Amino acid sequence: MFPSITKYRLLVFFSILFLRALSQQEHTFSQNKEFVKYLIDNKEYSDALYTIDKSVNQSLNPQQVDTLIYFKGLIFHKLKQFDSSFFYLSKIPYNSGWYYEASYYNVLNKTLLGDYDFALKLTEQIRYDTLLAHHPLKIFEEASLALLQRDYKHFDELLTKMDTVYFPIQIEQNELIKRRKELENRRKKYPAVAGTLSTLVPGLGKVYAGSVGQGIAAFIMVGMLGGITAETYYRSGPKNPEFIIMGSFFTVFYIGNIYGSVFSVKISNDKYNGEVNKILLFNMRIPVSRIFNY
Amino acid sequence: MADSLFEIGAYKASSVEYEYIYYSYSDNDVKTRALLKKATCYKKLGLFPESLKCLERINVEGLSDSVTYQVLYETALSAFLSNDYGYAELQFIQMKLYVKDSTLINSSQLLYAMTLNEQQKWTEAEKELESYITKSNSSLNDSLTKKIHSLYTGTPKLLNVKKAMRMSSFIPGSGQMYLGYWGDGITNASLQLCSLAFIGYNVLAAQYFTAVTLGTGLLQKFYVGGIHRVKYLGDKKNYERAKKFNEEAKKLIIQISSS
């Protein structure tokens, strides 16, 4: 009896030792998962990627593999490597627990890469077999993309379907509707008008485009060259080389200013659109991160 | 596991394991040691700003004297290696305030002297080195003290950039010449003289508008440009002189540390 008890004790002792040694070697999947979450929250992305890559070597079930792929895609999204993020998140299947997170982050990835058409297709493809609480997010993302493409007709269609109760999207949704009105009410500026104004008064076209400082600077520059040209004309006559040189300078600057005014309208429109798009993109991201806690 | 990875030189893997220790434990002492080791891993990988960022996460409250010293010293070292000398100096000032054991502080005096050198605070740096030598009781004390004294009597004479700029404001080109850039000075002065001649010519030709707009425009550009150039050249020369001296000082400090 006695020797068998000793044997049993020895077995338990060595098992404990073995388990302790094992736990010191490798962390379990669930430990690693929580650790990766902590690293992402603390923006330690390189450490998180390292931990994920190390975890891949363990024998994992499909759900665990999806978890690692999702985290990897999420980290690349946070690192603004949207193409890599898209590559990983596209691997998450519909039956995965990470399907919705991956789908919405992929919409953001394609949007941030500037491929609005693809992003819209991805949004439309998000499947809701049973309506989940975050279902209104789909309409919100679609509407945001419609406004990014300045497709007002599509936006107005979606406006009627928007949810007015689901709290996590309300602030950004109201902002979206406000932007739609702002874009509609904005007075359009025409390059031809700017060109004509600058022909009449140098720099006035730039003022019309919204660049008051540039307009004043152009007026002073062209006016100064015009003054010098006029002075050399009256003092030395039209055949004098000084007049020809200064006159050439004046002509180049005068025509260049007209051309610049035409362009400044385009630049001004692009700048305005860029600023609006920046706000739209920012607002698209907030509800996704709020709903999915990342 | 983290230590064994560190031992075999797998610093990236080791740094992640130290982060895991930091994440798993609530005891501040363990957390501090984990971050200190993680910072060392980053230093080994040559990632000095990351090392500094890591050390800044340490909460020094309640730590023992020696650990507090270690945290401050490592932070100063990482800041020094990241070329943030002002922040490195701040760590030494904190060390004097919070670390009670002066023998610990003594060992940091060499790095402190190097930090002061980089900030051109040569008198303070010399005092730190002399104090270190006095406390070290080495047989080479006298010869090292002499070497320190002879090095610091030859501290570079930094040029007064503001004075040079003032000189160029009154006599164009003179600031550059004071800094030793004669070609620059003569060119700038000649360009300003040409602008003046252009104004004179146009006034004589009764082309007053041209004289006022184009002539004064040119003169103003060369005048202001010349003063800006003086500042750039002065700062450049001072930087080069200080760098040359600090390199010499660094060699001597290495000699002191190995004695």
In this prediction, residues A89-110 reach a mean pLDDT of 94
Structural domain spans, chain A: 191-278
- pLDDT of the residue at B137: 72
Top mean-pLDDT range of A60-64, A250-254, B138-142: A250-254
- For chain A, helix, strand, coil in percent to 5 are 80, 0, 20
Do residues A60 and A98 touch, judged by C-beta distance below 8 A?
no
Decide if the complex's ipTM is over 0.90. Answer: no
Q: Give the DSSP H/E element, type plus range, for residue A132.
A: none
In this prediction, residues B131-146 reach a mean pLDDT of 80
Q: Which of A47, A229, A249 to mutate to test the interface with B (most CBs of B within 10 A)?
A: A47
Structure tokens at A100: 């919705």
A17 pLDDT exceeds 60?
Answer: no
- pLDDT of the residue at A18: 46
In this prediction, residues A32-57 reach a mean pLDDT of 90
- pLDDT of the residue at A277: 94
* pLDDT tier, A5 (very low <50, low <70, confident <90, very high otherwise): low
- pLDDT of the residue at A236: 83
* pLDDT tier, A22 (very low <50, low <70, confident <90, very high otherwise): very low
Q: Give the DSSP H/E element, type plus range, for residue A289.
A: helix A241-292
Average pLDDT in chain B: 92
Nearest to A154 by CA among A143, A163, A140: A143
Q: Does A121 touch chain B (CB under 8 A)?
A: no
B16 pLDDT exceeds 70?
Answer: yes
- pLDDT of the residue at A44: 92
Contacts of A242 (CB under 8 A, 6+ apart): A232, A236
In this prediction, residues B94-109 reach a mean pLDDT of 87
Percent of chain B with pLDDT over 90: 73
* pLDDT tier, A8 (very low <50, low <70, confident <90, very high otherwise): low
If you count DSSP H runs as helices and E runs as strands, how many of each does chain A have, helices first?
Answer: 14, 0
Instruction: Tell me which chain B residue has its CA closest to the CA of residue A32.
Output: B20
Least confident of A49-58, B26-35, B69-78, B233-242: A49-58
Q: Does A11 touch chain B (CB under 8 A)?
A: no
Instruction: Tell me which chain B residue has its CA closest to the CA of residue A24.
Output: B1
- pLDDT of the residue at A15: 54
The whole-model pTM stands at 0.75
- pLDDT of the residue at B244: 94
Buried-state track A147-185, b at ≥16 Cβ within 10 A, e below 16: bbeebeebbeebbeebeeebebbbebbebbeebbeeeee
Query: Which residue is it, tokens 């230590």?
Result: B3
Higher local confidence (pLDDT), B102 or B199 = B199
- pLDDT of the residue at A10: 61
Selecting from B15, B16, B206 the residue whose C-beta is nearest the C-beta of A235 gives: B206
- pLDDT of the residue at A14: 56
A166 pLDDT exceeds 70?
Answer: yes
Percent of chain A with pLDDT over 70: 91
